[in-house]
Amino acid sequence: MASFSAQIPICFALMMAICLLIGVNGSIEGGQREFDYFALSLQWPGTICRHTRHCCSSNACCRGSNSPTEFTIHGLWPDYNDGTWPACCARTQFDVKEISTLLDALEKYWPSLYCGKSSTCFSGKGLFWAHEVAIEKHGTCSSPVIRDEYSYFITTLNVYFKYNVTKILNEAGYVPSNSERYPLGGIVSAIENSFRATPEVVCSKEAVEEIRLCFYKDFKPRNCLASKTSCPKYVSLPAYVSMGGEESESDIAWISDDEAL
Residues involved in catalysis? 74, 132, 138
Angle at the Cα of 159 (from 156 to 162), degrees rounded to 5?
150
Q: Cis ω on the peptide bond leading into residue 78 (within 30° of 0)? A: no
From the list 132, 82, 114, the residue with the least C-alpha distance to 257 is: 114
Q: CA geometry: angle at 201 spanning 112 and 191, to 5°?
A: 105
Q: What's the rounded Cα separation, in Å, for the pair 27 and 23?
A: 5
The rounded distance, in Å, linking the Cα atoms of 102 and 94 is 14
Considering only CA atoms, which of 54, 46, 172, 60 is closest in space to residue 109? 60
Q: Are 119 and 135 in contact (CB under 8 A)?
A: yes
